[in-house]
Amino acid sequence: ALATAGAIAVATAVVAFGGKQTATTGGAVEPPAESHIFAKFERTPDSQEVLGPEGAMVDMADDMIGEEANANLPHIVYTLVDDMGWNDVGYQSTDLQGVSPHIDELAAKGVKLTSFYTQHLCTPTRASLMTGKYSIRTGLMHDEVIAPMSPWGLSLDYKLLPQYLAGMGYKTHMVGKWHLGHYMFDFYPTKRGFDSFYGYVTDQEHYYNH
């Protein structure tokens, strides 16, 4: 999947490795069986809530641990790209055809969400990706991102995407830009569900000072 947000030109890759894989001719990985692991969970409007006794899905991860849950999990790679406009990718550009052959191939074989809109800044977009909530629900909808000296971040009350994936049997890794809080170690990616993190935690870096 590919999502975009307006900010400094950087990318974040979230990778989740599943369990046993079965290769078909050509090296492709077979999809999970029809009885998907999510089938037994009924979603409600607020099904992904904060951690704690009132969280509707707090125990979901524990329920899915075991052989049945992670035997045939597919690998997941999610890339979030900042500062990328509608015309900046080959498969839909008016003048840049062929500049992104790998992304173009993925788009041709997948689903293109042509009416999917993200936030215009880094922090609220990343918060929505990690929580599954609109930025007005996380309190990060303002025209301000987390600066290097900002003493705040995405609330520790929220259970994030890598924590749910870990409960399903995945190993999760992140490369690139975090930008959801760093003023205490509890806000770091490896404290919020990721098994490893290689990148930077603030708003931007450049070729000459990273």
Catalytic-residue membership of 122 = yes
Which one is catalytic: 75, 142, 173, 179? Answer: 179
Which amino acid does the sequence have at 165? L
Measured from the Cβ of residue 143, the count of other Cβ atoms closer than 10 Å reads 7
Q: For the chain, first and last CA: distance in Å?
A: 27
Pairing of strands 76-82, 196-200: unpaired
CA distances 193 to 7, 44, 84, 141, 167, Å, are 25, 23, 27, 23, 10
Which one is catalytic: 122, 142, 173, 210? Answer: 122
Catalytic-residue membership of 142 = no
Catalytic residue positions, numbered = 122, 179
